[in-house]
Amino acid sequence: MQKKNIFPSSHPLVAHKLTKLRDKNTEPKKFRELIREISALLTYEATQDLALEHVSINTPLAAIEGTTLAQKIGLVPILRAGLGMVEGAWELMPSAEVWHIGLYRDEQTLMPVEYYNKLPVEPTVSVCLILDPMLATGGSAVATVDMLKEWGVRMIKFVGLIAAPEGISKLHENHPDVPIYIAAIDEHLNDVGYIVPGLGDAGDRQYGTA
Ligand code: PRP
Ligand code: URA
């Protein structure tokens, strides 16, 4: 597996919260809270190289040169499971635009099927953070990066909770320029495309639809 452009978190809070998230006894309400909290921590890690520009402001005491974010940022949750990550990322970047992408995996082929995409013709942001808890085969992530590049966005990052080695390889092969920020890298995919040990179905566990 390629090691470049993959950033597994080493933060103890992320590890602690991820263990609670994986626990099969964690109820949907707690599960949603944990997704939101871990997403905020991962967003902090994923945004450390954002560009800044100078701005002149006045404090109550003096005029100073400060800095402000130079680029417009888009959060791109992949429905459904990625939706639960938006609030955590938004807590850190409340001005970020949110552009939803609807994809589901066909249960037989495991290929992503698109059902929602309302991106306007011209890009409105210059940096996109794709939000999806699970990077399994990598099909959904690759399809979303394809759409965002087609839209015209050049700086794209994937932020997720658990990745399988298969998904990392697929995203790297198709889009080596897209860094992956992730809470954990698990062992493998099982024969129906679920990450092992993983956390089960991230959408069903958030929405109580298992
Ligand atoms: C899950 C997950 C990812 C996708 C990952 O979504 O949230 O979007 O599977 O799998 P992949 O890497 O093999 O493409 P799912 O299709 O279950 O839809 P849901 O979020 O609506 O439950
Ligand atoms: N989608 C999930 O929700 N969980 C997995 O393990 C794989 C894909």
Please report whether residue 62 resides in a domain.
Answer: no
CB 81 within 8 A of CB 133: yes
Please report whether residue 112 resides in a domain.
Answer: yes
CA separation (Å) from 44 to 19, 38, 124? Answer: 20, 10, 22
How many domains in the chain? 1
- The reply to whether ligand 2 has any atom less than 6 angstroms from the CB of 135 is no
The residue type found at 140 is S
pLDDT tens, residue order, the chain (210 aa)? 446 899 999 999 999 999 999 999 999 999 999 999 999 999 999 999 999 999 999 999 999 999 999 999 999 999 999 999 999 999 999 999 999 999 999 999 999 999 999 999 999 999 999 999 999 999 999 999 999 999 999 999 999 999 999 999 999 999 999 999 999 999 999 999 999 999 999 999 999 998
DSSP output for 24-75: TT--HHHHHHHHHHHHHHHHHHHTTT--EEEEEEE-SS-EEEEEEE-S-EEE
H-only helix segments in the chain: 12-22, 28-46, 86-92, 139-151, 165-174, 202-207
Please report whether residue 53 resides in a domain.
Answer: no
pLDDT at 210 (0 to 100): 85
- The reply to whether ligand 2 has any atom less than 6 angstroms from the CB of 141 is no
| Paired residues of 180 in beta bridges | 6, 158
Give the integer Cα–Cα distance in Å for 136 and 188.
9
| Paired residues of 55 in beta bridges | 66
Question: Looking at ligand 2, which residue's alpha carbon is closest to its atom 7?
Answer: 194
| Cα–Cα nearest to 143, from 197, 195, 194, 104 | 104
**What is the whole-number distance in angstroms between the Cα of residue 127 and the centre of ligand 2?**
26
Please report whether residue 77 resides in a domain.
Answer: yes
Question: Looking at ligand 1, which residue's alpha carbon is closest to its atom 7?
Answer: 81
Question: Looking at ligand 1, which residue's alpha carbon is closest to its atom 21?
Answer: 80
Ligand 1 lining (C-beta closer than 6 Å): 78-81, 103-105, 110, 112, 132-141, 167, 193, 202-203
pLDDT at 2 (0 to 100): 42
- For the chain, how far is it from start to end, CA to CA, in angstroms? 32
- The reply to whether ligand 2 has any atom less than 6 angstroms from the CB of 164 is no
CA separation (Å) from 27 to 80, 194, 195, 197? Answer: 18, 20, 20, 18
Please report whether residue 57 resides in a domain.
Answer: no
pLDDT at 125 (0 to 100): 98
The residue type found at 115 is Y
> What is the token pair recorded at 160?
């997720």
Please report whether residue 29 resides in a domain.
Answer: yes
**What is the whole-number distance in angstroms between the Cα of residue 32 and the centre of ligand 1?**
16
CB 150 within 8 A of CB 142: no
Please report whether residue 167 resides in a domain.
Answer: yes
Owning domain of residue 117? 6-47+72-207
Please report whether residue 97 resides in a domain.
Answer: yes
Question: Looking at ligand 2, which residue's alpha carbon is closest to its atom 2?
Answer: 201
CATH code of the domain covering residue 162: 3.40.50.2020
